Amino acid sequence: MADAGIQEETRPTSAVPWWRRRLPLIALQLALLAAVWWILKIDATIVAAIGAAIVISGAVPERYEGLVSGLGMLGLAALVYFYYGQRPLALVLLIFGVLRGVAGMAELRRVGAPVSG
């Protein structure tokens, strides 16, 4: 027999607002980024760009997160290449960005979201 004073959460995940599911993860990622910035003294420009990528990819609907995350990595690769002149790091970010973007496109096709092309 169940306790009358205890009720279980029976709402499906989709009924929970996005910010309740995703905001803690965004906050954790930003806190980790701030710690890395503080410890390693990374340039503020790249930290701001990474922070923007975290917030933007976390704020879009979940089905687009992979694609937006991949695009964010491509943007970071361009910043690292053109602003800092770091070709090896830019290449690594480019590869990960393409892989994440392709995986995001595959996920969109799997769930039936509209994809041009």
pLDDT tens column, 84-112: 999 999 999 999 999 999 999 998 888 77
The CB density around residue 41, as the number of other CB atoms within 10 Å, is 8
The CB density around residue 2, as the number of other CB atoms within 10 Å, is 7
Residue carrying the six token digits 């760009």:
49
Tell me the average pLDDT across 67-89.
Answer: 95
Tell me the average pLDDT across 2-10.
Answer: 53
Tokens of residue 112, six digits: 């039936």
pLDDT for res 22: 87
Long-range Cβ contact pairs of 27-31 (< 8 A, separation 24 or more): 29/54, 29/58, 30/54, 30/55
Residue carrying the six token digits 């990374």:
42
* pLDDT greater than 60 at residue 29: yes
The alpha carbons of the chain give a radius of gyration, in whole angstroms, of 18
pLDDT for res 4: 54
